[in-house]
Structure 1
């Protein structure tokens, strides 16, 4: 759990620094930074997808997972939570806070690094991956918070719960996380990163949070197909 705690603290610290930087940052600079991050995520996602094993698994996972996410209205619910919190902490209302919470939570949680790093931490006490992720998330949190505000720092709670749960349950999850399952998780997670990148770049409005169940369905399908 120590590595996940460090990761969460790094996000909070980066978010607070980003909030301070936001006050002196022109809007056009913030938009330019978000576009650059978005393009980087698109490139990262495209590259990561081709490391996966099965297009069939990706298609089925996305179809089933997105359908489930839409039925559960995951993005809408998380947005509402962010808006509710934002209305309490921000004089200008919570819409931007909700958007920041959703965007940051997705960015910090959907990648294979979050899952594999937490598994390594729980199984072998190897925190290297999560410490590396902490540095990346720290920098990303600064940049995101300079645009989206306090919602980015609040996403640390989701990271703590998500990665912490995986670390604590690592012994049960390890047999399921075969090389094939890991590859499929990476491929589907990479597709979600492309969607998130499109959102950040302002090229589209993809409800990426509603696609998150696809990651877990991909792991399950990998057990059957492979």
Structure 2
């Protein structure tokens, strides 16, 4: 049972509702300062995930190669277009209830969809739960997403809660794929995989605080290449160094 995915989905659903109901009581300064705390939490989660890595060189190679692949295929742009299509579908049934102009509302909704549905932390946490059964990353992320959904719900209305549906579908698909990966992994590969996910969480933390806008959507392929690179490093390269 994907406890982490269910918890994270409920967090977005409930957060959007709470934000829509109580958003008028939140000041801009309150929202801004809370975002800074979110960034610290994401950075802390990233450091925690990176610490036990096994092969630093393999993780560095994976980060560089995965990002190059993402940039080469314009993955970030493709994700944004998918979010725009999702927003157009939602807008057929739900009209904006916020005070924002429709162009601003639509652009903000696309940002929120990308943030929740194409989060490197979410994909990483889902793969970890699917591979090892550990939901802790997604449960920790649920806390952040709950408060993020409250803030976005305060600005956009209860429509933010609807993002929980595609979010659940996407993560369940990733979770299903993860089961196929399990027989092919080793403990060292799992540690390096977690470390690569930690790098994504660090990048997300810097983006949330607007310290540096790392291309996190384009960095998602890191999670695809890190295990093969870790295996190749351990099996082919390390023996040559001894």
The normalised TM-score by structure 2 is 0.76
Alignment equivalent of 2:122, drawn from 101, 109, 117: 109
Structure-2 change in CA distance of 1:16 and 1:219 (3 Å): farther
Partner Cα separation in structure 1 for residue 210 and residue 162 of structure 2: 22
CA RMSD across the alignment: 2.7
SS in 2 for 1:204: coil
- How many residues are matched? 216
Q: Which residue of structure 2 aligns with residue 124 of structure 1?
A: none
Partner Cα separation in structure 1 for residue 120 and residue 177 of structure 2: 22
CA contact (8 A) 1:12 1:153 kept: yes
Q: Which residue of structure 2 aligns with residue 139 of structure 1?
A: 143
Q: 1:35: how far off? A: 0.7
Of structures 1 and 2, the larger Rg is shown by 2
Partner Cα separation in structure 1 for residue 60 and residue 164 of structure 2: 29
Q: Which residue of structure 2 aligns with residue 125 of structure 1?
A: none
**Which range moved further: 20-29 or 83-92?**
83-92
Partner Cα separation in structure 2 for residue 151 and residue 72 of structure 1: 29
CA contact (8 A) 1:17 1:142 kept: no
Q: Give the gaps of 5 or more residues in structure 1.
A: 122-128
Partner Cα separation in structure 1 for residue 123 and residue 174 of structure 2: 15
Q: Deviations over 1:66-101 (max 9, x none)?
A: 111112222222223334444625434322112222
- Say whether residues 1:221 and 2:233 are aligned partners: no
Q: Which residue of structure 2 aligns with residue 176 of structure 1?
A: 184
The normalised TM-score by structure 1 is 0.81
Q: Give the gaps of 5 or more residues in structure 2.
A: 97-101, 154-158, 235-242
